[in-house]
């Protein structure tokens, strides 16, 4: 990993190097690191440019010892300085999207990261992390760059306890999406992100192809075979699977399709050996939060996304 002028952080554009150094840390708390785990897995499987033309950037924070974290470090003597120290934080950034950041040990680590990125000329569009870390980094970025950080999306991470499928289930049944559903998945992907007021991390076609390749979208169909809702799932990494996205077209909502397809995806993930099944919701949406709690999901941690403007 490349040396930075701060004791705690090392940066790299090499995914394999990042994973070799950060894997144990990320796997130590898979739920809290779900975004970093799933995105890095997608990069590994689909290639480094799956989220955009620019190369991703990765970083790890190591325990530099008491009093060292906030001071510039002297150039290291070891050939590979990143091999020293315990990993205590990590990030990945797939431009032009938000920086995905793990929980950090303290405010100094967030302050350092803002300095490392700003000094190197990097300009992330924002940050997504558990709420305390996100707030610390956003404040540090404002101080360092004079940008304005604005809360874009408050999220709540849920973990499945005892799955409780809806009773009665709506008429119809679930099936895994295939190549014949590609155009439908692309359209629903666009509608889902349009409803959120954001651009998807992947293009619609790339997203559909990636999910179809491993059976990563399940459809709920009405008795006549009409798709009525979808629920996606990430690949299993470090024992965890995250349900995302869940979408029902506006004219079909309120009929139980979202709950039914989410329950089916959750059941399938457990049956396939997942240790944890997770999902994010809009923390400010009482309808979705109530739905997932009825299915057996329990709040685990609040996350926040900030966007940066100059």
The first and second tokens of residue 144, run together, are: 């360092």
Q: State the pLDDT at residue 1.
A: 60
Q: Low-confidence residues of the chain, pLDDT below 50?
A: 3, 65-83
Q: What angle, rounded to 10 degrees, do the helices at 107-119 and 131-145 form?
A: 40
Q: What CA–CA distance (Å, rounded) separates 209 from 288?
A: 27
Helix (H) or strand (E) holding 307: strand 297-309
Q: State the pLDDT at residue 199.
A: 84
Long-range contacts of 121-125 (CB under 8 A, 24+ apart): 122/57, 122/93, 123/308, 124/93, 124/95, 124/98, 124/99, 124/308, 125/96, 125/97, 125/98, 125/307, 125/308
Q: Cβ contacts of residue 36 below 8 Å, gap of 6+?
A: 26, 90, 91, 92, 100, 102
Q: What CA–CA distance (Å, rounded) separates 210 from 160?
A: 25
Decide if 192 contacts 201 (C-beta within 8 A). no
* Strands 173-176 and 148-160, sheet pairing: unpaired
Helices (H) and strands (E) in the chain, counts: 8, 12
Decide if 259 contacts 297 (C-beta within 8 A). no
Ordered domains of the chain (ranges, CATH): 9-146 (no CATH), 160-301 (3.40.630.30)
CA dihedral 104, 107, 110, 112 (to 10 degrees): -120
Could you report the per-residue pLDDT of 220-232, keeping only the tens digit for each?
A: 999 999 999 999 9
Q: What CA–CA distance (Å, rounded) separates 36 from 51?
A: 14
Q: What CA–CA distance (Å, rounded) separates 95 from 110?
A: 20
Helix (H) or strand (E) holding 119: helix 107-119
Q: State the pLDDT at residue 197.
A: 83
Q: State the pLDDT at residue 73.
A: 41
Q: What is the DSSP string of 202-226?
A: S-HHHHHHHHHHHT-EEEEE-TTS-
Residue tagged 């070891």 (tokens) = 78
Q: Please choose, from the candidates 192, 241, 234, the residue with its C-alpha nearest in 3D space to the C-alpha of residue 213.
A: 234
Q: What CA–CA distance (Å, rounded) separates 260 from 220?
A: 7
């Amino acid at each position: 990993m490349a040396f930075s002028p701060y004791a705690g952080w090392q940066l790299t554009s090499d995914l394999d190097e990042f994973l070799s150094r950060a894997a144990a840390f990320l796997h130590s708390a898979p739920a809290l690191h779900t975004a970093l785990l799933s995105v890095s897995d997608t990069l590994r499987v689909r290639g480094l440019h799956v989220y955009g033309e620019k190369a991703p950037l990765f970083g790890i924070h190591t325990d530099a010892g008491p009093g060292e974290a906030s001071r510039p470090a002297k150039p290291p003597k070891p050939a590979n300085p990143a091999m020293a120290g315990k990993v205590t934080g990590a990030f990945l950034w797939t431009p032009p999207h938000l920086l995905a950041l793990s929980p950090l040990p303290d405010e100094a680590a967030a302050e350092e990261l803002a300095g490392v990125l700003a000094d190197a000329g990097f300009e992330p569009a924002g940050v997504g992390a558990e709420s305390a870390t996100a707030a610390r980094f956003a404040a540090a970025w404002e101080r360092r760059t004079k940008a304005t950080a604005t809360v874009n999306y408050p999220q709540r991470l849920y973990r499945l306890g005892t799955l409780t499928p809806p009773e009665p289930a709506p008429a119809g049944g679930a099936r895994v999406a295939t190549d014949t559903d590609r155009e439908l998945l692309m359209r629903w992907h666009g509608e889902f992100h349009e409803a959120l007021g954001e651009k998807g991390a992947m293009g619609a076609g790339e997203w559909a192809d990636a999910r179809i390749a491993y059976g990563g979208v399940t459809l709920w169909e009405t008795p006549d075979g009409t798709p009525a809702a979808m629920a996606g799932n990430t690949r299993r990494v470090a024992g965890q699977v995250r349900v995302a996205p869940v979408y029902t077209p506006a004219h079909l909502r309120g009929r139980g399709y979202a709950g039914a397809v989410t329950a089916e995806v959750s059941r399938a993930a457990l049956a396939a050996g997942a240790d944890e099944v997770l999902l994010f919701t809009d923390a400010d949406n009482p309808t979705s939060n109530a739905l997932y709690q009825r299915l057996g999901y329990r709040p685990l941690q609040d996350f926040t996304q900030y966007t940066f403007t100059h």
